[in-house]
Amino acid sequence: MRSLIFFMHTSLDGFVAGPKGELNWAKLDDEIFDFVATITDKADTALYGRVTYEMMQSYWPTAAEQPNASKHDKEHSAWYKKVSKVVLSRTISEKGLENTTVISDQLADNINKIKKQEGKNILIFGSPSASHSLLSLGLIDEFWLFVNPVLLGQGIPLFKGITETTKLNLIETKTFSCGVIALHYEKAES
């Protein structure tokens, strides 16, 4: 079965964005981008909430064509264009969307169907509201948390709506020269 992997930058005090969705505190550089590419290479499906999907759609399909496109822009744009996209939304329709499935109800059933299909991993990038829904249903198998050396004090929490204890096993860690530490966890067997 395919793994659903939660992939998120977080502040040291557990926020994934500022109060207005700000992400200007998240450290991103070539070292992190190259590392992330090793994770995306093992995935053929990207899962998003509607807001994150619309943000991704506005940038990644043409990012590689821009005159100042970085190595990361070119590589991630190519990956984004070829992977299947799954969007959790009650407000958009699949009509006119290329290589995209919209899930608007029966979240657990629909996600489990996708996880049982042949293929590589499924990555959920950002998408705090969608991630909270997936977490509350116990659908996330692994976590990649990129802990940034910053305290925000307030904002959108990393975890919300968890009603029961979920035990995790630390698989690996990676420290980046910019001060970010990546923590890779998987759900522990019950």
Under the phi-then-psi rule, with left for phi > 0, alpha for psi from -120 to 50, and beta for the rest, what region is 121? beta
- Ordered per-residue pLDDT tens for the chain, 190 residues: 899 999 999 999 999 999 998 899 999 999 999 999 999 999 999 999 898 899 899 989 998 999 999 999 999 999 999 999 999 999 998 888 889 999 999 999 999 999 999 999 999 987 888 888 898 888 999 999 999 999 999 999 998 877 788 899 999 999 999 999 999 999 998 6
Query: d(Cα 103, Cα 84) in Å, to the nearest integer?
Result: 13
Task: Give the model's pLDDT for residue 129.
Answer: 83
Task: Give the model's pLDDT for residue 88.
Answer: 93
CA distances from 26 to 22, 77, 187 (A): 9, 20, 25
Task: Give the model's pLDDT for residue 190.
Answer: 67
Task: Give the model's pLDDT for residue 43.
Answer: 95
Task: Give the model's pLDDT for residue 185.
Answer: 97
Task: Give the model's pLDDT for residue 166.
Answer: 86
Query: d(Cα 159, Cα 16) in Å, to the nearest integer?
Result: 9
CB atoms within 10 A of CB 110: 16
pLDDT digits (tens, 9 = 90+) for 99-152: 999 999 999 999 999 999 999 999 998 788 888 889 888 899 999 999 999 999
Helix (H, G, I), strand (E, B) or coil at 130: helix
Residue 106, φ and ψ in degrees, nearest 5: 45, 55
Show me where the domains of the chain are located.
Answer: 13-44+142-162+170-174, 49-118
Contacts of 70 (CB under 8 A, 6+ apart): none
Residue 49, φ and ψ in degrees, nearest 5: -80, 165
CB atoms within 10 A of CB 87: 25
Q: Indicate yes or no: pTM above 0.85.
A: yes
